[in-house]
Amino acid sequence: MSRTEGGQVQTPLGIFGGTFDPVHLGHLLPVTDAAREIGLHRVKLLPCHIPAHKATPTVSAAQRLAMVRLVCAKWPLFELDDRELRRDSPSYSVDTLNEYRREEGNRPLVFFIGLDSLKNLNSWHRWQEILTLCHLVVCRRGDCLASFNPDVSRLLEQHRTRDARHLKEKPAGLIYLADTRELAISSTELRGSLARGEATDLLPEEVLAYIQLHGLYGVRSEE
């Protein structure tokens, strides 16, 4: 087990980052499933400022932050971390994970990602360093591993664990594939639905109310 200098077992720190434009159930429910599966009760929600792999967000950082804050107030699992929004540079996961590692010492870090992110991991900035800093917990339904590129396939073969208890035994270095519900929700398509005035049950109630109140994504403002 990973322990403090005094010998106390350390609970892993869960982290889940994203653009959250807007934050929706396709983000929240799979991570909720994965956290339950590995025995975590708190996960940091980490909205990014300037995404490294996606288009510039369509609403302001302050508005995305407000929506994530509403989620954290209603969903006990999640806790807001706005450190990336306070940067003026692109949000590279490796930089943020290095910050957490300096702050947390040898505490296990669990970084939640989707299956598509795992498949594209070798396109991330300094991707070879990621597993020296954290464990990866991948939200996916079924196996769906056939289309992995050789670099990621080798990484998965070398670092995969099928026992979630191993995530608590060392600070970093493992990949765990969690069995989560499948919610194929595209943020782009969701924003389009909002702009067309279509009803959507893909957003937490508090986030939809905020979007309607402030007229985001082309929704007619209720102010």
6 domain residue, yes or no = no
84 domain residue, yes or no = yes
Per-residue pLDDT of the chain (223 residues; tens, 9 = 90+): 666 555 556 899 999 999 999 999 999 999 999 999 999 999 999 999 876 666 678 899 999 999 999 999 999 999 999 999 998 888 899 999 999 999 999 999 999 999 989 999 999 999 999 999 999 999 986 555 557 789 999 999 999 999 999 999 999 999 999 999 877 788 899 999 999 998 789 999 999 999 999 999 999 765 5
1 domain residue, yes or no = no
How many domains is the chain built from? 1
Any idea what the CATH number is for the domain that residue 200 is in? 3.40.50.620
Give the C-alpha separation, 93 to 130, whole Å: 8
Question: What is the number of alpha carbons within 13 Å of residue 187 lying toward its C-beta?
Answer: 15
Three-state DSSP state, 156: helix
47 domain residue, yes or no = yes
Domain assignment of residue 164, given as a range: 13-216
Give the C-alpha separation, 175 to 167, whole Å: 9
What's the alpha-carbon Rg for the chain, to the nearest Å? 18
203 domain residue, yes or no = yes
| Region of residue 173 (phi > 0: left; psi between -120 and 50: alpha; otherwise: beta) | left
211 domain residue, yes or no = yes
222 domain residue, yes or no = no
Question: What is the number of alpha carbons within 13 Å of residue 125 lying toward its C-beta?
Answer: 12
Give the C-alpha separation, 181 to 200, whole Å: 19
196 domain residue, yes or no = yes
Q: Is residue 127 within 8 Å of 121, Cβ to Cβ?
A: yes
Q: What is the identity of the amino acid at 136?
A: L
Give the C-alpha separation, 164 to 184, whole Å: 25
Strands 109-114 and 43-47: unpaired
Write down the pLDDT at residue 53.
62
Write down the pLDDT at residue 12.
97
Handedness of CA 145, 146, 150, 153 (dihedral sign): positive
